[in-house]
Amino acid sequence: MAGPRDVSAREAEVLSALAGDRSNAQIARHLHISVRTVESHISSLLRKYGVADRRELARLAELEGVDPARAHGFTAPTGPATSFVGREQDRAELLTALDSNRLVSLLGPGGVGKTRLALRVAAEVGENYPYGGAVVDLVPVRPGFVVAAVAEALQVREQPPQTLTDAVVGRLTQGRTLLVLDNCEHVVADVGDLVARILTEAPETAVLATSRERIGVAGERSLRLGPLEGSEAEQLFRDRAALVAPEFTATEQPDIAAQVCAGVDGVPLAIELAAARAGSLGPDGLLAALDDRLRLLAGGRGPNERHHSLAHVIGWSYDLLDDDERALFRRLGVFVGGFDLAAVSGVAPGSSRGELSDLLGRLTDKSLLYRSQHAGTSRWRMLETVRVYALEELDRAGEYDEVAVLHLAWADATAADLEKRLEAGEEWQAEFDQVTADLRAAVSHPEADVRRLARRLAHLTFARKRFVEAHDHYLTAADHATDAAELYNDLRDAADATLTVADGTQAYHLMLRAADRAEAEGNHELQQEALAYVVMMLNRYEVQPPVPADRGAGLLASDADTVEVRIARAWVARFELEPAEAAVAAARRAQDPLAVMNALDAYGTALGGARRLRDARQAAVERLELAATLPEHDPRACAEIVDAFHVASTTAVAIGDLVEAVRLARRTDDPMHGHPFITGPRQVRAFALGGLLDEAVRTADRMYGSWLAAGRPSHAWMSSAAALAALAHGLLGTGDEPVWQARALEMARVRTPAAGPNLQAASAFVAARLALHRDDTRAAGAVVRGAFADFPEPWWVPYAHAAGAELAVVAGLADAERYVETAAAAENLWSDAVVLRIRARQTGDPEAMTEAAAAFERIGARFEQKVTLEL
């Protein structure tokens, strides 16, 4: 699904520059070409991409942040190595159906060739979908994980608190996209729910589904795929048989293909299985075996008549196996994904590795297994229809319960080994990805005790940075908890997993549940620990509980003196130093790094409230140093590590160390590196203050777009970044400053900046700085008074004071010197440089102005250095 091949290099540059809604004049300046040339290239691009307007072109350019001419291909599994044979009429009908319907389902029994035809047609129509798409093989996917599989195929990342479904649908709303959902029958309900949303909310996305039954969604156009007939079936047999027995192409054997195809009802998979046996049985043996099976092939068995033909073909192959081969074949049906020799040993403990290796080879030779190589290790898998047959035989033999228990034990041992390798710093990710589907299947066992496996799977999933899925697995573990202590551990890890992605409300409610269970069991110590966490959530994060905020009041009034309680009291006091100092001391005595990090956060917040910004910075530096010693694969540690990066950036900005702020913004060792909610705001702030204005604008666009896609979650702490984006636009002269001022209010959920504690000081700073930039002193008095308001949040106060003081001097306000003295008292390098510039303005001394410019250079404020030199 690549874009037009005749897009020139210059056109590609123009297309890329369209991202971010740049004007033609801005693009012309950026590329050093004329506006008329830009207009000509845009007209050409509209024609070549077949889109209606420049907005559509901009959307193409912005998707994934890469050139759409190369980015929007299918994400699909490797296609079959063998050739596509026949199906010309079916292919034409499917093409016609896709041309006029947004949901087309290709129906038929297993093995009839639905997947192969769907892939062929998808490849043919690919150029009609400039936003690409994906082929999603649902064979290894269990109920409840369809959305995760689609998201992985589309390369959609979690952006909590937005649901993964919202993220998938959001990706599909970006333009004409084709989504192929293959093998839907075992998850048809989940597929139906997802497709219904896609059809409603993503009007330019088409869905092609293959299934044994209809999806059942309004607007579905179904095409039923029947067996191959006549020459097409015979050609398929000859083509496949020739790979193992060239004599089957000889003219003296003209009737064998017709007889075999007729005997297996023309089902393509049955034809291929028969052809694969041609080499070992020969023409006579093949016909003889077919003759022996005619009664079974015609009679059928099993509850679903649509499966009889294929079941007979697989049954024929199954009956040709010896007893040992059959026994292993049945047991392999429990594996949802692929399996290696060690996995097979887990479900067949009575056989040696040598025996199992031999049996796997024999089953592979008979086309009941397919072998692949991964990192030097052989892995096998069954076609899904073959696997279903194996499971039916396993159940018929009365062996299912025994093998399911063995499969669960193998999954638990495998997860335990992966955990050990993770904690030892050894390679584990590739193998985990190979077995994830089976670990998920094992943890879904309806009757077994899966808590231990659920916790291990949650831990491994968390380490793979699939935080929301990890949260869900921890909740599965919680469902199997036997007492308050187990429940606390499961819910605490689930809470910290969700807290990692800034969802304090969910964490709050999970720990309330843990506290209630502890109270019910009379475990007062555990209840105190859970309530301490609840109190911290209320005072440390943006939490909107539907229960009284004083739920932990009894805890605070009690004589409890644990480290957790001391930290909770420090957070309730918030800007008071004494409780915070006591919490830090208690945590240090306990020698608990996580407790020390939490207490230091409360202490740094109190120091900020006391305007001791440099001391707050030192506390943040110590937290970040401690973070480097903790395992980020542990949810409890990771939540603190992520916050340590956030606070380190906040305090670096607060003291005016923009070199460090930009360095932190670019660090890639942050566990949330690249997440638009967590890292985007601090990047925007650092880039805007550091004079990297274009980069600030681009990052802000991504941040805001992701916030919208997530459903506008309540993250008021992001609003100051939107205010700094307004500053960047104002300094660049794009005209979009009012847009970002409105977005800052939207994020803070207020009507005026003064009503937003996270926004007020930053917004006052931006107003004063832009008034200076534009030499606009008409409302200087009001702007300056706003810059010296009584701010509830300390981190942006020095910037507001410095910009306000400079505006007061430039406007000649009577009490300007008082403002300058206040700004000079701040513990902030930016403010210090501004005061130097103010004094140079007052004296007219060029050397003093040069000294001020050098001060801005030292702290990494490129734009301010440039402006100061111009002055």
Q: Exposed, middle or buried: residue 253 (CB in 10 Å: 0-12, 13-18, 19+)?
A: middle
Exposed, middle or buried by CB within 10 Å (0-12, 13-18, 19+), for 486?
Answer: middle
CATH at 56:
1.10.10.10
Please choose, from the candidates 8, 20, 33, the residue with its C-alpha nearest in 3D space to the C-alpha of residue 61. Answer: 20
Q: Tell me, rounded to whole angstroms, the distance of Cα 406 from its chain centroid.
A: 33
Number of independent structural domains in the chain: 6
- Tell me phi and psi for residue 316, to 5 degrees: -60, -50
CA-CA-CA-CA dihedral for 280, 284, 290, 293, to nearest 10: -90
Q: Are residues 520 and 384 in the same domain?
A: no
Q: Which structure tokens are listed for 238?
A: 């000859």
CATH value at residue 464: 1.25.40
DSSP 618-658: HHHHHHHHHHTTS-TTSHHHHHHHHHHHHHHHHHHHHTT-H
Q: Looking at this protein, which amino acid is placed at residue 539?
A: N
Instruction: Give yes or no: residues 189 and 278 share one domain.
Output: no
| pLDDT tens digits for range 718-770 | 999 999 999 999 999 999 999 999 999 999 999 999 999 999 999 999 999 99
φ, ψ of residue 130 to 5 degrees: the values are -65, -20
DSSP 112: S
- Assess if residue 535 is contained within a domain: yes
> How far is Cα 249 from Cα 238, in angstroms, rounded to an integer?
6
- Residue pair 12/69 in contact (Cβ under 8 Å)? The answer is yes
**pLDDT digits over 608-629, tens only?**
999 999 999 999 999 999 999 9
Say whether 105 sits in a helix, a strand or coil: strand
Calculate Rg over the CA atoms of the chain. 33
Cα–Cα distance measured from residue 187 to residue 747, given in angstroms and rounded to the nearest whole number: 38
As to burial, measured by CB atoms within 10 angstroms (0-12 exposed, 13-18 middle, 19+ buried), residue 300 is: middle
Closest CA to 269 of 305, 315, 231, 301: 315
Q: Which residue has the tokens 């396993």?
A: 394
Q: What pLDDT shows up at residue 655?
A: 96
Q: In the prediction, which pLDDT does 305 show?
A: 40
- CA 179/CA 210 separation, integer angstroms: 11
Helices marked H in 320-399: 323-332, 341-347, 353-365, 384-396
Measure the CA–CA gap between 146 and 138, rounded to whole angstroms: 7
φ and ψ at 222, to 5 degrees? Answer: -105, 140
Concatenating the DSSP letter of every residue in 741-764 gives: HHHHHHHHT-SSGGG-TTTHHHHH
Q: What is the DSSP string of 722-737?
A: HHHHHHHHHHHT-S-H
In a domain, 670, yes or no: no
Q: In this structure, which long-range contacts are made by residues 864-871, counting pairs with CB atoms below 8 Å and at least 24 apart in sequence?
A: 864/691, 864/830, 864/833, 865/691, 866/691, 867/773, 868/837, 871/837, 871/840, 871/841
Contact 98, 208 (CB under 8 A): yes
Coil, helix or strand at residue 135? strand
| 733 lies in the same domain as 690 | yes
Please state, in angstroms and rounded to a whole number, the distance separating the CA atoms of residues 263 and 81: 26
Token pair recorded at residue 563: 């480290």
| pLDDT number for residue 248 | 63
Q: For residues 779 and 850, state if they share a domain.
A: yes
Q: Which helix (H) or strand (E) holds 180?
A: strand 177-182
Alpha helices by DSSP H, listed for 541-612, are 553-557, 563-573, 577-590, 593-609
Same domain for 120 and 101: yes
**What distance in Å separates the CA atoms of residue 850 and residue 50, rounded to the nearest whole number?**
55
Buried b (16+ CB within 10 A) or exposed e, 599-636: bbbbbbbbbbbeebbebbbbbbbbbbebbeebebbbbb
Helix (H, G, I), strand (E, B) or coil at 379: strand
Same domain, yes or no: 42 and 25: yes
**Rounded CA gap, 498 and 401, in Å?**
35
221 near 104, Cβ under 8 Å? Answer: yes
Say what the pLDDT of residue 131 is.
Answer: 84
Please, are residues 747 and 706 in contact by the beta-carbon 8 Å criterion?
no
Helix, strand, coil fractions of the chain, as percent rounded to 5? 65, 5, 30
| Residue 666 within any structural domain of the chain | no
Q: What does the pLDDT read at residue 38?
A: 80
Segments of the chain scoring below 50 in pLDDT:
1-2, 64-72, 76-78, 251-252, 292-309
* Strand duo 370-374 + 377-381: pairing: antiparallel
Q: Are residues 98 and 47 in the same domain?
A: no
How far apart (Å, rounded) are the C-alpha atoms in residues 492 and 490?
6
CA distances from 100 to 95, 180, 219, 517, 645 (A): 9, 16, 11, 56, 51
Domain boundary among 206, 224, 242: 224
Q: Note the pLDDT tens digit of each residue in 509-563.
A: 899 899 999 999 999 889 888 888 888 887 777 776 655 556 666 666 666 788 9
Question: Coil, helix or strand for 67?
Answer: coil
137 φ, ψ (degrees, to nearest 5):
-85, 110
Buried b (16+ CB within 10 A) or exposed e, 817-856: eebbebbbebbbbbbbbbbbbbbbbeeeeeebbebbbebb
pLDDT at 331: 96
Which of 224, 250, 271 is where one domain is finished?
A: 224
The verdict on residue 115 lying in a domain is yes
CATH number of the structural domain spanning residue 114: 3.40.50.300
Q: Identify whether residues 174 and 248 lie together within a single domain.
A: no
Give the pLDDT confidence score for residue 628 in this predicted structure.
93
Q: Is residue 360 part of a domain?
A: yes
Q: Note the Cα 318 to chain centre separation in Å.
A: 42
Report yes or no on 410 lying in a domain. no
Pairwise CA distance, residues 524 & 485, whole Å: 11
Domain end call among 69, 98, 114? 69
Closest CA to 842 of 870, 866, 820: 820
Burial class (CB in 10 A: 0-12, 13-18, 19+), 173: middle
Whether residue 846 is found in the same domain as residue 758: yes
266 lies in the same domain as 339: no
Give the residue among 670, 658, 857 at the shortest CA–CA distance from 650: 658
In a shared domain, residues 99 and 201: yes
Same domain, 500 and 541: yes
Range of 532's domain? 447-644
Q: Decide if 685 contacts 649 (C-beta within 8 A).
A: yes
CA distance 230 to 261: 8
Q: Which residues pair with 371 in a beta bridge?
A: 380
- Residue 411 has a CB neighbour count (10 Å cut-off) of 24
Mention every residue, 6+ apart, whose C-beta is less than 8 A from residue 341. 353, 356, 357, 360, 378
Q: How far apart are CA 66 and CA 51, in angstroms?
A: 18
d(CA 257, CA 622): 77
Please list the residues that pair with 720 across neighbouring strands: none
